[in-house]
Amino acid sequence: MFLPMHKRSRPLPLLAALLALPFACLAQAATDSEPIVKHPRLGTCVHFHQTGKGWDVDTVMPLIAQSGVSWIRDEISWASLEREKGVYVIPEHDIRWIEAAHKAGLKILLLFNTRGNKLYDNIYDPDAYARAAAWLAKELDGKVQAMEIMNEPFNFKGMGTVFGGTWNGREPDNSTSPWVHHYVKLLNAAARAIKAANPRMTVVGLGAEAPVNFRMLEIGIASEVDGIADHPYSRRVIPELVLFAATDGILKRDGIATADQRGTYASQVRMYRERSARFNGPKQFWITETGFTTYSGVDRQLHAGFTEEAQARYLQRRIVEALGLGVDMLFQYDFKNDGRDPNRAQHHFGMINWDLSPKPALGAVNRVATALATCEPAPGNAKITVTVFPHAERIDAWPIVWDGTKIAAPGTIPVHHFVDQSGTPVIALWSAERAGSDQHPRHADIELATASGSAFTLRTLKVHDLWTGKTRTMTPRQKNANTWILEQFVVPDTPVLITPATDDFSTTAAGSPVLTTSPSPDATAANDAVSLFARDRSWKFNPGKEFPGATGKLTRTDEDDTPVVTVDYDFTGGGRYVSADSSFGITQSAGEIRFFAKSGNPLLLAIRLIDSTGQTFQIKRPYNQTGEWQPFRIDLADIKGQSWGGAGDGKPRFPLKQIRICISATGKGAPRGGQVTFANIAPAS
């Protein structure tokens, strides 16, 4: 039966004190005089069901309500609900937190958890569990909006112990572990029963490690299951990565690929969706746990011990990326530290400490929630095309080795597109590197292009820093009628949001943006980049003879009807670089040199331009988008870099008579051999 919650027994002086603290992380927190902005797809995990562990409903629930999240995730266990066969009673302490969340305006993802019910011969009896889940879904209608079927079913001496099998669901003969089949049977039975009792209740499940979830999808998930539950803990790497890179060691371990070769989380989300569609699985994708712990770091087997600042920065990046990828819901784990042992990772995932004092993560998550609360992802309908040209590399000097696979922070600059409720585009980007680097923030040229005849002009941009909460106005250089460039843009290791300034566009009564300013006449001329790799261009291989030992070759082919030049290189015998060389006249009127490169390894490219006097200009650029096409750009009106020889004055004389693209391995331990392919445009593949 469902009983009303007890009235709150004491006031909340602690809440007022916390909001008055001069912490930077609370700068954006709501006060009594300001409306509380909550992101509709963000939640946090809580443990109010664990009485006596510091999760006081009266003090903690109001803090959650002001944090910027709209949901909480907590649990009721099957064993506590059904203590007598067929008799269901919700424990009073669970009623209290459910009522408190409802009163605070928070939605609930209810984890109906179990490690078996000993009332039944099969402690995971799927029909008995389903009957209890259906009763709960009907009883809590209006108070609970979604239910999750078990938490990490293999773990905590769960189904793996009872039915047998491995954590990743793979048996030695590559068959699927018995416990996985038992969980799928229980999930499907529960989902069908819940929907029959309460069709409005959202049901999510799976919730195991990615290789297991992929196997579950192949077994077959009932149509009544609305969403996949995923727990993408990055553990010891940055949030853009997961420890499932499709490399030999991990493929041998799992028997199935669940991410790309770099182990990017973006690829894993894409592959989840593809696999679910292939097997007619759930359409929604929920992250029901993700987080970073701030413990001492003494247990290096699973989780690194991150600083509180790194935790905050990584949470911002994980949330913005997930929202940009169109994830339906994300629950941060967890709101409050669960203990005080400095050496236990599980005790320190909270955004606030055990004593309820805030960590930087509290304000960091609040700023993301506030800034993106009215924004929707627009990955396939971006009104602005963004191309990033990084100036400096970010090599991970301390990559981890996980099951025989070296996993390093890629140093890429992710870009995600959103659109706000007025139709204005919002661009999020940051540097995917380890947080809190001792290096100066990276610089990059950010090119923004609108479609011909677009309603937007980008003459003035607003740049909002989610880490500081500050907004500044920037004026990009206009390249032509539809293209602008933010030159030497500082790219931090936390997301920044770029939007057109409000005075550059207006909105009609129907809600469609209309152009209010126009580009200057001198900026409308066509600006065609040099076609470096056209079929009629001659390229030659150069082994870098001044540093003997390097070998390789250059070949010309077509990829998807696009002419490409591929350079094979090998530094095992010595040498510092090899290059692709071409001689032809390049005039300043060409505007820029632009090309794409793709390699299986991170590289350092040095583009050498030799002018009409023999003076060499060298511009160094990193290649770090391993396995992907990365753009490169040199503005011929402002050539920057080292120079020597010829006139020797650092001033280029046109036409440029030669270009040399030098290729070097990056850093100690980098692969000494490989290949890199160049093209004018990225081939369709």
* Confidence class for position 455, pLDDT limits 50, 70, 90: low
Give me the mean pLDDT over the 330-335 stretch: 98
- DSSP H helices in 304-425: 308-324, 360-372
The CATH label, of 3.20.20.210, 3.20.20.80, 3.80.30.20, 3.40.640.10, for the domain at 35-373 is: 3.20.20.80
Of 376, 372, 331, 324, the C-alpha closest to 107 is 331
Give me the mean pLDDT over the 389-406 stretch: 85
302 or 365: whose pLDDT is higher? 365
Mean pLDDT of the chain: 89
How many angstroms separate the CA atoms of 269 and 318, rounded?
13
**Is the predicted pLDDT of residue 584 greater than 60, yes or no?**
yes
**Is the predicted pLDDT of residue 229 greater than 60, yes or no?**
yes
Q: Rounded to the nearest 5°, which phi and psi values hold at 361? A: -60, -30
Q: Check residue 398 and give its pLDDT.
A: 79
Q: Check residue 16 and give its pLDDT.
A: 41
* Confidence class for position 505, pLDDT limits 50, 70, 90: very low
Of 355, 366, 288, 291, the C-alpha closest to 328 is 288
Looking at the domain that runs over 540-679, which CATH code has it been given? 2.60.120.430
Q: Which pair of structure tokens corresponds to residue 406?
A: 């070296």
In the chain, the percentage of residues whose pLDDT exceeds 90 is: 75
- Give pTM, 2 decimals: 0.88
Q: Which pair of structure tokens corresponds to residue 15?
A: 């809440």
Q: Check residue 399 and give its pLDDT.
A: 84
* Confidence class for position 481, pLDDT limits 50, 70, 90: confident
Dump pLDDT digits (tens) for 339-356. 999 999 999 999 999 999
Residue type, 72: I
Q: Could you check whether the bond before residue 334 is cis, i.e. omega within 30 degrees of 0?
A: yes
Using N-to-C axis directions, what is the helix angle for 308-324 and 265-278, rounded to 10°?
40
How many angstroms separate the CA atoms of 70 and 87, rounded?
32
Give me the mean pLDDT over the 8-34 stretch: 39
Cα 434 to Cα 55, 236, 350, 468: the distances in Å are 32, 11, 20, 18
Mean pLDDT lowest among 16-20, 483-487, 576-580, 673-677: 16-20
Residue type, 306: F
How many angstroms separate the CA atoms of 571 and 152, rounded?
46
Could you please report the per-residue DSSP string of 136-147?
HHHHTBTTB-EE
Q: What are the sequence ranges of the domains in the chain?
A: 35-373, 384-523, 540-679
Give me the mean pLDDT over the 66-91 stretch: 98
How many angstroms separate the CA atoms of 298 and 414, rounded?
31
**Is the predicted pLDDT of residue 293 greater than 80, yes or no?**
yes
**Is the predicted pLDDT of residue 456 greater than 80, yes or no?**
no
* Confidence class for position 585, pLDDT limits 50, 70, 90: confident
Q: Check residue 210 and give its pLDDT.
A: 98
Contacts of 275 (CB under 8 A, 6+ apart): 214, 217, 218, 281
Of 326, 320, 322, 453, the C-alpha closest to 383 is 453
Q: Check residue 454 and give its pLDDT.
A: 73
Q: Check residue 641 and give its pLDDT.
A: 85
**Is the predicted pLDDT of residue 5 greater than 60, yes or no?**
no
How many angstroms separate the CA atoms of 185 and 179, rounded?
10
Residue type, 11: P
In the chain, the percentage of residues whose pLDDT exceeds 70 is: 89
Q: Check residue 429 and give its pLDDT.
A: 98
Q: Which residues pair with 563 in a beta bridge?
A: 558
Q: Which pair of structure tokens corresponds to residue 9?
A: 């027994």
Q: Check residue 220 and give its pLDDT.
A: 98
**Is the predicted pLDDT of residue 569 greater than 60, yes or no?**
yes
How many angstroms separate the CA atoms of 168 and 253, rounded?
8
Separation of first and last alpha carbons in the chain: 58
How many angstroms separate the CA atoms of 111 and 105, rounded?
19
